[in-house]
Structure 1
Amino acid sequence: MVEKEVNPHFEDFLFEWSTKFQFLVGGYGSSKSYHVALKIILKMLEEKRTALVVREVYDTHRDSTFSLLEELVIDLGLDDHVKCMTSPMQIRFPNGSKIIFKGMDRPAKLKSINNISIVWIEECSEVKYAGFKELLGRLRHPTLKLHMILSTNPVGEDNWSFKHFFRDDMNKRLILDDAELYEKRTLVTNDTYYHHSTAEDNLFLPESYIAQLDELKEYDPDLYRIARKGQFGVNGVKVLLQFAIKPHEEVMAAIENINKPLMRAGMDFGFVNSYNALLRLAVDHEKKILYIYWEFYKNGMTDDQTAEAIKEFAESKELIKADSAEPKTIKYFRQLGFNMMGAKKYKGSRLQYTKKVKRFRKIICSSQCTNTIYELKDLTYAVDKNGNIIEDEFKIDPHTLSAIWYGLDNYEVADLKEKRQRERPNRKRPTRERR
């Protein structure tokens, strides 16, 4: 018999073994790692199994997962029977069960392990997606049911763990709306048990620690969302705060109602790791609204394949402003009958183009432009080593933003400050009367 007081929010989780995957996400101090460790120990005592505990870096086990498991073994009064070995790190049980520890920074070590029926990936968001898939292949046993437990603090929605277990906009996959998990706290879908926790769920946590987390709201909202609320989201400063998505029919109807619309097309070139991105834009100059209503977004295509895919532009002679860093490509398209010209590029043009796009009061994107939405909806600035924003660099390479840059070549959005200065009435300076 083993008795241990636990947090009520984790009671069901401790004995939940019906699903293959168990995904735990939560804020700082929520006790999720503690209860995963306890859950594994209880299972090792009940059945003869081999569990694999994984972190991205092997050496971090000593002061985290191994230390936690060893502490629990002692606290449960099992240290006379359960052996915690440090070289190599391993925990052995009297019934033949064992827990072994590996790091993804030593992938060769994974190849020598067999009959793993439980894998715990601690801080799974730090492990690469390729590593996760490698571990799936290592999870195998001839008779026992297989389980993988993943625990993490929430990170950005661009992390593989969010895309795999919740939503992948790029590939149009919705597994679970994370907002539903925050509301229900636990649920099961697609052979995955989901568990959400915050500091309130840890009844052993001092109130001073929770108060410290609450203070984050005032000076670090990103960390507050992660540490206090335990929720995924967008990390960093968003570039296009005015970006909005509307149904395609609504966007086209709005364009029809523009007084003297400015119609543009811009193209960024790519091949292997980057993309050919071609966008059709409409500008409402009077209202300072940019509409994005059509996109072409492909990679791995030769120029002749791309030309065939967008041949409607050659037939209509619609002007395309493209990346002038590719003069040979532009020349090739012109020889095929495309009305294509290079957009101006100069030192500092990335920053100036970005500022131009940010001056629009609204940027409205058609719901059909899914790749544009994926790149721009939550686009954030890159930061330097001191955490300062780099105004012309981003956390991803947004090909659709480059296409917008080029499409807006030679067009200027009126800067509101400049406009106010131009509209200010001329006032004559009072002159002194000569005596």
Structure 2
Amino acid sequence: MVLVEKEANPHFEDFLFDWNQKFQFLVGGYGSSKSYHAALKLIMKLLEEKRTALVVREVYDTHRDSTYSLLEEIINELGLENRIRCVTSPMQIRFPNGSKIIFKGMDKTAKLKSINNISIIWIEECSEVKYSGFKELLGRLRHPFLDLFMILTTNPVSEINWTFKYFFKDQKKKILVLDDQELYKRRTIVVGNTYYHHSTADDNLFLPESYVEQLDELEAFDPDLHRIARKGQFGVNGIRVFPQFRVKSHSEVMAEIERIRRPLKRTGMDFGFETSYNALVRMVVDREKQILYIFGEYYKNRQTDDVTAEDLKHLKRENIKADPAEPKTIAYFSKSGFRMEGAKKFAGSRLQYTKKVKRFTQIICSDECENTIFELEDLTFKVNKQDEIVEDDFSIDPHTLSAIWYGLDDYEVADLKGDSVFSSARGY
């Protein structure tokens, strides 16, 4: 056993040595040191026991300047750089007792299939990982005899995010695991097999006072970000693109669609391969009430056209409007028996298509469309250097929204709210 001595923030001392629960959920504001102590805890455990740990982020390339860099920094602070080897290609950390840390991204899920005997997973910025990815990682957490652990660290995002619904409460399904207000009050709580830990910048005794002052200043001009960054509490950061977006059970959605008089059916598809996705969205428009229903989706990447065509062969009779930037792909699908054609694309089409979708009085999505929910329910506008919203750019690249754009290519929504995408979202 390697003995190490390291000064830690008092609020994290119990967390560092508590391995009694399978899940350890750390949520907190900016600069609270939650990621630092998760990394320190992982190193201490792997020095003590021979294990293989998996560190995950949504995008693999972000590890190098975040989790990998942080772990390497702590190893150097502990004076163990001569005993613990940090390898850069591929990124990996190897311990003298045979333990190792490997790094993966959910943008390359195929590479997860070759991983065996993982007994600890740390998901950094877990709110950025899709719920389907979280479930995939649960399946990879297995070992013949060692206890299994998953550490999740995140800044709070929104009560709509899957992390809040899974670890706290899901209003739609009327499920309550823990009232988040109780966590903010008590700071650490154990519920079932989950250890909860809440932290703010005040818990990081090594943080410069000037940084804390900057966080305090947010309260005057950006209260939403102040709640997230300073208080470490869940809330939407930014202006939502589709405040009228709602999720209902699949049976409810289909029942409502059945009651529509003269329903308009539309299917759109966006193409992707490496880091983007083949995203297909099936929709129905209630033209009288101006409601958009989303009842089906397809969402996969790293697949050749023949595999995707096989997956979607049951939709050959549907009229599909697709990304016109990929004429060869559209031609392949057409020759394979699909009724597919390219949508219109023109200068400013992103903005015009976004305005069109925003004009629906409601956007109701089936709970079976997990990727559509993940991308659109919490989608916010990007802002420029002047802190002004950019009306055709978003917090993420929403492939399902592109599919919706294309599917609605030849349908116009009545303009009921005015032409500015900002005006209809301002109050949210």
**Shorter-chain TM-score range:** 0.5 to 0.7
Residue 280 (structure 1) aligns with: 282
Residue 128 (structure 2) aligns with: 158
CA distance in 2, matches of 1:268, 1:297: 10
CA distance in 1, matches of 2:100, 2:331: 58
Residue 413 (structure 1) aligns with: 413
**Range with bigger deviation, 319-328 or 400-409:** 319-328
Are the counterparts in 1 of residues 93 and 100 from structure 2 also a CA contact under 8 Å?
Answer: no
User: Aligned match of 1:27 in 11, 29, 37?
Assistant: 29
Residue 255 (structure 2) aligns with: 253
Residues 10-51 of structure 1 show CA distances to partners (whole Å, capped at 9, x for unaligned) of: 6754764656886644336868799999999xx9xxx999xx
Give the letter for the 2:127 counterpart: E
CA distance in 2, matches of 1:108, 1:308: 34
CA gap of 1:237–1:128, structure 2 versus 1, over 3 A, is: farther
Residues 377-407 of structure 1 show CA distances to partners (whole Å, capped at 9, x for unaligned) of: 2122334455443322223322211111111
Per the TM alignment, residue 308 of structure 1 is displaced from its structure 2 partner at its CA by: 2.9
Residue 177 (structure 1) aligns with: 167
User: Aligned match of 2:96 in 114, 121, 125?
Assistant: 114
Residue 391 (structure 2) aligns with: 391
CA gap of 1:212–1:392, structure 2 versus 1, over 3 A, is: closer
TM-score (norm 2): 0.62
Secondary structure of the structure 1 residue equivalent to 2:227: helix
CA distance in 2, matches of 1:151, 1:400: 24
Secondary structure of the structure 2 residue equivalent to 1:157: helix
CA distance in 2, matches of 1:241, 1:330: 33
CA gap of 1:105–1:405, structure 2 versus 1, over 3 A, is: farther
What fraction of aligned residue pairs are identical, expressed as a percent?
55
Residues 256-313 of structure 1 show CA distances to partners (whole Å, capped at 9, x for unaligned) of: 2223221111122223332222222111122111001122223333333333332333
Per the TM alignment, residue 192 of structure 1 is displaced from its structure 2 partner at its CA by: 6.5
CA distance in 2, matches of 1:220, 1:290: 32
Residue 428 (structure 1) aligns with: none
The answer on 1:401 being equivalent to 2:401 is: yes
List runs of 5+ in structure 1 lacking aligned partners: 67-87, 92-97, 120-126, 141-145, 420-435
Are the counterparts in 2 of residues 320 and 407 from structure 1 also a CA contact under 8 Å?
Answer: yes
CA gap of 1:196–1:331, structure 2 versus 1, over 3 A, is: same
Give the letter for the 1:157 counterpart: S
CA distance in 2, matches of 1:105, 1:181: 42
Q: How does 1:200-349 map to 2 (within 5 A)?
A: 216-231=218-233, 234-314=236-316, 317-349=317-349
CA distance in 1, matches of 2:327, 2:38: 57
Give the letter for the 1:339 counterpart: R
CA distance in 1, matches of 2:338, 2:41: 64
CA distance in 2, matches of 1:296, 1:48: 44
Are the counterparts in 2 of residues 57 and 103 from structure 1 also a CA contact under 8 Å?
Answer: no
CA gap of 1:113–1:363, structure 2 versus 1, over 3 A, is: same
TM-score (norm 1): 0.61
CA distance in 2, matches of 1:211, 1:355: 38
Residue 357 (structure 1) aligns with: 357
Are the counterparts in 2 of residues 19 and 147 from structure 1 also a CA contact under 8 Å?
Answer: no
Secondary structure of the structure 2 residue equivalent to 1:356: helix
CA distance in 1, matches of 2:335, 2:120: 59
Give the letter for the 1:114 counterpart: P
CA distance in 2, matches of 1:363, 1:115: 54
**Range with bigger deviation, 274-283 or 363-372:** 274-283
Are the counterparts in 1 of residues 359 and 417 from structure 2 also a CA contact under 8 Å?
Answer: no
Are the counterparts in 2 of residues 246 and 365 from structure 1 also a CA contact under 8 Å?
Answer: yes
Give the letter for the 1:335 counterpart: K
CA gap of 1:329–1:175, structure 2 versus 1, over 3 A, is: same
How many equivalent residue pairs? 358
CA distance in 2, matches of 1:269, 1:48: 47
Are the counterparts in 2 of residues 102 and 109 from structure 1 also a CA contact under 8 Å?
Answer: no
Secondary structure of the structure 2 residue equivalent to 1:416: coil
Give the letter for the 1:305 counterpart: V
CA distance in 1, matches of 2:297, 2:397: 17
Q: Rg: which structure is higher?
A: 1
CA distance in 1, matches of 2:24, 2:82: 19
CA distance in 2, matches of 1:399, 1:241: 18
Secondary structure of the structure 1 residue equivalent to 2:375: helix
List runs of 5+ in structure 2 lacking aligned partners: 1-6, 50-63, 138-150, 155-161, 170-177, 420-428
Are the counterparts in 1 of residues 190 and 196 from structure 2 also a CA contact under 8 Å?
Answer: yes
Q: How does 1:92-103 map to 2 (within 5 A)?
A: none
Are the counterparts in 2 of residues 354 and 405 from structure 1 also a CA contact under 8 Å?
Answer: yes
CA gap of 1:225–1:308, structure 2 versus 1, over 3 A, is: same
